[in-house]
Amino acid sequence: MNTRIEHDTMGEISVPADHHWGAQTQRSFENFKIGGQRQPREIITAFAYLKEACALANRQAGKLTEEQAQAIAAACREIREGKWDGEFPLVVWQTGSGTQTNMNVNEVIAHLAAEKGVALHPNDHVNASQSSNDTFPSALHIAAALSVANDVIPAAERLAAAFEKLAAAYPDLIRIGRTHLQDATPLRFAQEVSGWRELVEAPCRMLRLALTELTKLAIGGTAVGTGLNAPKGYDEMVCAQLREMTGLDFTPDENKFHALTSKDALVFAHGALKALAANLMKIANDIRFEASGPRCGMGELRIPENEPGSSIMPGKVNPTQCEAVTMVAVQVMGNDAAIGFAASQGNFQLNVFLPVSAYNFQLSARLLADVMDSFRAHCVEGITPDVERMERNLHNSLMLVTCLTPRIGYEAAAKCAKKALHDGTTLKEAVLALGLLTAEEFDETVRPEKMV
């Protein structure tokens, strides 16, 4: 492997000649061969937004020339386009402040600018008016906000729309309800599906609320929150650039001492992701139970048959999309525990669990967005109810007895239900046998369409 010599304040080190990183990146690459999980692509993208905004703010404040600022901005745009993904090799399991990833980005930008004839120092120019202590928390919030706004919420809205379409297709279909895994009173199939839709939409409202905190940035606080070496008004200048670039309402956190040490906004936002995951778990379980069978289960729903379900049982098809949803939900719940523990460890002026927090948040956001689109396209949009089976189960249910209560009383109605169950007869036969109503009176009273 061809190498070149780079140096930092600790001395010289050999760096692969075909890469654009520098000495500090190389030291981290060699010292932290742990796990193999790289910094999320979303974090690198967020840094590329942040470094461009910082460069333009530094130009505005007179700390960089127009040429220097534009060189940084051009490199950042190429990074966001994915042109240099191979230049960010560092793993999650590094310094807890994310300093080495900040320097990785600084070094790559400086080397890219040098190739175009603009000499930049990674610290003096690319990192001007900044510290890893305020840039990584800012990049963490930028990445989280972009993922929530651009990926998770749109995927959830598409899934909710699919449920709305399914409900609209069967407005008058009535099915038996179930509580405690036992028969209950009827409801419209569209009403049940409307519940699924709201289970997706409600966490979206929580996520939008969380965005108001995620868009508050630590930038301008530098090392410990005092803003040392940053120009006056620098934080607002950076946020103004970010607002223009991303379309999100980024603002400076008014208390930088809070911003550097607390991850409460991330905990709050991930709590909404966990709420979404919990609701998706419920939806997926409902659908796979109601589609169970095909002959010996509930079988009230038909879902798409996407692939063979067994290597030994010919013809078996499984609710695989539902299973993917439930596995993602479990992973997100685990990620939430990791983020909560990490956020509790803000000691003195800095939280040093930033990379692991970023990794888990981005994993949750990516998984949820992907699985909602997959679930929608390969399951929900192909759901059809088995109308005949729904109607048969509806009229066979003993809980239709509930509408008799106002006419014959609770205890007499319970006696009818128990007799029908014990004798293996219909509810109507039990009522007639007990002489509580005539056939005409029963038919007039027990009408499922009036119970919903």
Active site residues: 180, 310
Question: Torsion-angle region of residue 328: left (phi > 0), alpha (psi -120 to 50) or beta?
Answer: alpha
Amino acid identity of residue 414, one-letter, is: A
Distance in angstroms (rounded) separating the CA atoms of residues 305 and 382:
9
**3 state SS for the chain:** CCEEEEEECCEEEEEECCCCCCHHHHHHHHHCCCCCCECCHHHHHHHHHHHHHHHHHHHHCCCCCHHHHHHHHHHHHHHHCCCCHHHCCCECCCCCCCHHHHHHHHHHHHHHHHHCCCCCCHHHHHCCCCCHHHHHHHHHHHHHHHHHHHHHHHHHHHHHHHHHHHHHHCCCCEEEEEECCEEEEEEEHHHHHHHHHHHHHHHHHHHHHHHHHHCEECCCCCCCCCCCCCCCCHHHHHHHHHHHHHCCCCEECCCHHHHHHCCHHHHHHHHHHHHHHHHHHHHHHHHHHHCCCCCCCCCCEECCCCCCCCCCCCCCCCCHHHHHHHHHHHHHHHHHHHHHHHHCCEECCEECCHHHHHHHHHHHHHHHHHHHHHHHHHCHHHCEECHHHHHHHHHHCHHHHHHHHHHHCHHHHHHHHHHHHHHCCCHHHHHHHCCCCCHHHHHHHCCHHHCC
